[in-house]
Structure 1
């Protein structure tokens, strides 16, 4: 016999979005079951540096993410500061000072994300809710009218349990942990992406939602991640931030053919996606002493401290080079399998265009703010892309209701966090803040469905 457990709202995924949804639903009077497939709750949020950020305005969002869903962005931006105060009131640390120009344009505040998650879960449980770990969602339950009525779960010991509920929230964190889905949606080399998040986010939310009639968004080929050294001897959660080459926007970035392929000043998270589509999914950053002694050792986020990313890359196994002249650097990089003649021409053309104040070099835009390497010694680092979470996902409205292909809500089903698509598309509008905010939408709307 399959055990049946009945709740008002069931939430699948206990990361930032799922925990926020559970908290919001509980505060609205619903009895909540919060399910997590891994042995510990927290998801990728618990591995993050805790920067709660998004676009500072809808106008800034439009400039950075022109193919994004503006309706979702308007509400995320409007809710940002209110949800920040909600986290502070919960008892978690929230920085007093804001950080600006995050990922070139965002605004945010550092929070103690692990404390926030723990405090929120404790409140849900104190209100009569349940936290179940080692609980893998198998399929959504649907009634005769095809409304979602809960979820069938396989527990760690193998037993099946029916969690029946009037409303269900999916917040499983995207599909970055599934190489076959990355290859299907992102393209060649994507199945090699280094995973820079938890390993449990393998597309459960997308699979469950579309199986129940929900529609996927555009932008399934886009994702958030950062460039890492290539190769790497080891790579674990403790390396996620120190090994990230945030300063790539201050370098000259080429592929193995020695060609530029993207405006470097767009930012590391954009370059990361572009490198994936290059030959063998690799690139080479070239830069000078000025960049090496400033951007490459700068603090990435307030409170994290400065680290020497180039030195860490070298010690971690990355292919690095240092040379007194650019000519010597090109010869070294040629030995890595890069087309040296093409690289030399690329470097000369790029230098000429930067000195002229920007324009186009070999068919690729050069920003007026770009600066070619000119102060020795000179450096090179081979890089590879990583994935933190995917940006495409389930289509939702501003109440986080899952929508079908005709734009109609799927009864009883809500989706939040990295399981949704539309808010970010190539450019991204933040991780923790949009996850918490959309989770709160979902939890409140789910509670309203059952009269909470």
Structure 2
């Protein structure tokens, strides 16, 4: 027997975008039910697995002080301003102009205000020293890459804060409710069906807000839309993003939005036994100090420019490059001089995939690479470095290695033992293809007409990203468009 519930607004998906939409709707006095596929100990969507970094515009540290958690290091910290023009330019650059300009303008204009608004509801933010700044020789810190702010406690803290705020405002959170279909009556979306441990539930509502993520956890859909080999990618985040509600929305006439053939994918620990949907280590399984060293495949060859740009602008596409290598595995290689500069939370985690050796030849043997091939790669790299330029990871230092492919910045010789090799594979974060919507979150059909009663936000909203994305813009988009959808639901 189907159980029927009634409310004003039903939000499908209990991640950052979903909770933001719920906050905006309850602020207007709407009754809200949030359907979360995961049980309470598995809830939070992809947002739980993030580091919490959120890209916003600001005028520097003094502009951020009033709503960030204070830190004793502020007095010796430089946070460069990040303007709307820079934000817009970064999105256009990394997507090669394939970002929707209207959605982009809204994201850029609204992101900061959305975070301040969420802070007023109890979400806590801080400067991300360990991820977005380097300590300089004089002990001061310089932030880089336009991404400076994140949630206290990372993704886990983000979801805990959202949940607390939602419960305080009366949101009805239903865990273990996996939405399966949309209910349409007279051409209007009027609700959702969901599967639970106790049977089917229908939730009837005036508005349905879809925030249930993409299809990255569905190996079949990955192979269908992203291409051959994508079934081998490791799922970084929630196992529940199977694409069910994308298919349900398309079935009732929604148009596709954005790039269904690309995704956010990163370098991910290759050999740790629990390297998928790991709620204990979450984002610590990424390996994002790669701009400082070199990356080689199983043939001992480099295959990309590790220093093409700051990590924030390359990390979300380099997972794809790893997937294309033999066995979908590569190795980040560093020497003893570089090792202290690697991110502690990622490169010192329990059970990390790493091999250490006193010589390059011994290192090659340990990771199953031909010693002569790896030695030749390292020797050629070292010999080509422009050593007249100082090494400075806080700026694009132009310290180049003139090999093929080149390393455009941060070329440091791999010459002082012991040497380290960290095995990485492709970890998929979320898919860029979603539903087409207007700037308020109304889902559109193929003619550009809104589907009555249906809204979208978060990773289900297509159009912002293609091929790549600037770090932190995903959570920012969830805040901005979740708020907009909730404001009209």
- Fold-level similarity (TM above 0.5): yes
* Deviation of 1:317 (Å): 5.8
Residue in structure 1 matching 2:260, options 216, 220, 239: 220
Match of 1:180 among 192, 198, 220: 220
Could you say which residue in structure 2 is the equivalent of 1:303? none
Matched, 1:437 2:459: no
Q: 2:90 matched to which residue of 1?
A: 60
- Structure 1 Cα separation of the partners of residues 144 and 462 of structure 2: 19
TM-score by length of 2: 0.78
Answer whether contact 1:256 1:338 (CA < 8 A) is retained: yes
Match of 2:351 in 1: 316
Q: Residue 385 of structure 1: SS of its match in structure 2?
A: strand
Higher deviation after alignment, 365-374 or 349-358: 349-358
When the two structures are aligned, how many residues end up with a matched partner?
424
Q: Secondary structure at the match of 1:113?
A: helix
Among 123, 132, 152, the residue aligned to 1:92: 123
Whole-angstrom distance in 2 between the partners of 1:370 and 1:351: 8
Partner of 2:395 in structure 1?
A: none
Query: Could you say which residue in structure 1 is the equivalent of 2:50?
Result: 48
What residue number does 1:118 align with? Answer: 163
Superposition deviation, residue 37 in structure 1: 1.6
Cα separation, 2, equivalents of 1:43 and 1:106: 22
Q: Which of 264, 287, 290 does residue 334 from structure 2 map onto?
A: 287
Q: Distance in 1 between matches of 2:56 and 2:252?
A: 31
- Residue 237 of structure 1 aligns with which residue? 279
1:53-103 alpha-carbon deviations (Å, 9 max, x no partner): 357421233233333223222211211221121122112323378985789
Equivalent residue for 1:275, pick from 311, 314, 322: 322
Q: Matches of 1:76 and 1:359 in 2, distance apart?
A: 37
Distance in 2, Cα, partners of 1:176 & 1:417: 14
Provide the alpha-carbon RMSD of the alignment. 2.8
* Aligned positions of 1:30-429 closer than 5 A: 30-40=30-40, 41-54=43-56, 56=82, 57-66=87-96, 67-95=98-126, 104-111=145-152, 112-125=157-170, 129-145=171-187, 147-158=188-199, 160-235=200-275, 236-265=278-307, 266=309, 267=311, 268-294=315-341, 296=342, 298=343, 306-307=344-345, 309-312=346-349, 316=351, 318-323=353-358, 328-330=359-361, 332-334=363-365, 336-355=367-386, 358=400, 361-362=403-404, 364-429=405-470
- 1:17: Cα distance to partner? 0.9
Gap change, CA 1:233 and 1:437, over 3 Å in 2: same
CA distance in 1, matches of 2:413, 2:447: 50
Q: How many Å apart are 1:185 and its aligned residue?
A: 2.4
Q: CA deviation at 1:341?
A: 4.4
* Shift in alpha-carbon separation, 1:139–1:370, aligned structure 2, 3 A: same
Q: Distance in 2 between matches of 1:132 and 1:383?
A: 37
Cα shift at 1:171:
0.7
Match of 2:75 in 1: none
Q: Secondary structure at the match of 1:188?
A: coil
Greater CA drift, 277-286 or 55-64? 55-64
| Greater Cα offset, 60-69 or 380-389 | 60-69
In the alignment, structure 1 segments of 5+ residues that lack a partner are 299-305, 447-452
Is there any run of 5+ residues in structure 2 with no aligned partner, and where?
A: 58-81, 134-142, 388-398
Deviates more, 1:50-59 or 1:209-218: 50-59
